[in-house]
Structure formats: C-alpha cells, structure tokens
C-alpha cells in the first residue's frame, strides 16, 4: 500500500465514521509529523491527503481517540477536537 492510499484510507475512514464504536468516542487523525487533524479537515483536505508527498504535513498515519484533552486543537483549522471525558 502506498503512503498516499494509506493516508487517504485513514482520512476517509475518519470522515465517514468520526466516532469510535462502541462508545462514541471522538476520533481525530494523526500525521507523520505529529500534528492532529480534525474530521472536518480530513474531509475538506481530502485531495491534499490523497496526494501527500509523505512529509508535507498531510501524511495521515493513524487515528486516535481524544480521551480527555480539553485543549486539543486541529493543527490545520484550529478548531477544538472534542474529547471523550473532558468538560466542554
Ligand atoms: Zn481541522
């Protein structure tokens, strides 16, 4: 599997199913440079993700649940990524 197809697969998976099941915990994407991407950016920036060079900030390598970080922000759009347990 290429970097691009893996990256796109993870992003598509996240924009289609942004909450972990079971439990409904909010998911976000992690890029290879350690940035967080919210589900909205995974959808809106699909083309960038699909054509990542691998080190341009759009290489999605994993998805994760935001358990309790109330200050976790998307590194692209700056919006807050919901957390499972933190207030607000
Ligand atoms: Zn975002």
Cα separation of 76 and 5, whole Å? 21
Cα separation of 10 and 20, whole Å? 13
Q: pLDDT tens, 23-34?
A: 999 999 999 999
User: Does residue 88 carry a pLDDT above 70?
Assistant: no
Q: Examine residue 44 and state whether it is found in any structural domain, yes or no.
A: yes
* CB atoms closer than 10 angstroms to residue 56: 13
Indicate the pTM of the whole model: 0.92
Distance 3 CA to ligand 1 centre (A): 21
Q: Examine residue 12 and state whether it is found in any structural domain, yes or no.
A: yes
Distance 5 CA to ligand 1 centre (A): 20
Is residue 18 a contact partner of residue 10, using CB atoms and an 8 Å limit?
no
Q: pLDDT tens, 67-84?
A: 999 999 999 999 999 999
The domain total for the chain is 1
Residue 44, domain extent: 3-65
Q: Examine residue 84 and state whether it is found in any structural domain, yes or no.
A: no
Distance 22 CA to ligand 1 centre (A): 24
Give the list of residues 6+ apart from residue 23 with CB closer than 8 angstroms, or none: 84
Distance 77 CA to ligand 1 centre (A): 4
């Amino acid at each position: 599997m290429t970097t691009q197809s893996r990256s796109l697969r993870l992003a598509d998976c996240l924009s289609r199913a942004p909450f972990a099941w079971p439990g409904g915990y909010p998911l976000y994407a992690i890029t290879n440079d350690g940035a967080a991407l919210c589900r909205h950016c995974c959808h809106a920036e699909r083309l960038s993700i699909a054509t990542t060079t691998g080190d341009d900030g759009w290489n999605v390598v994993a998805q994760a649940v935001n358990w309790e970080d109330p200050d976790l922000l998307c590194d692209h759009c700056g919006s807050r990524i919901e957390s499972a347990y933190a207030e607000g």
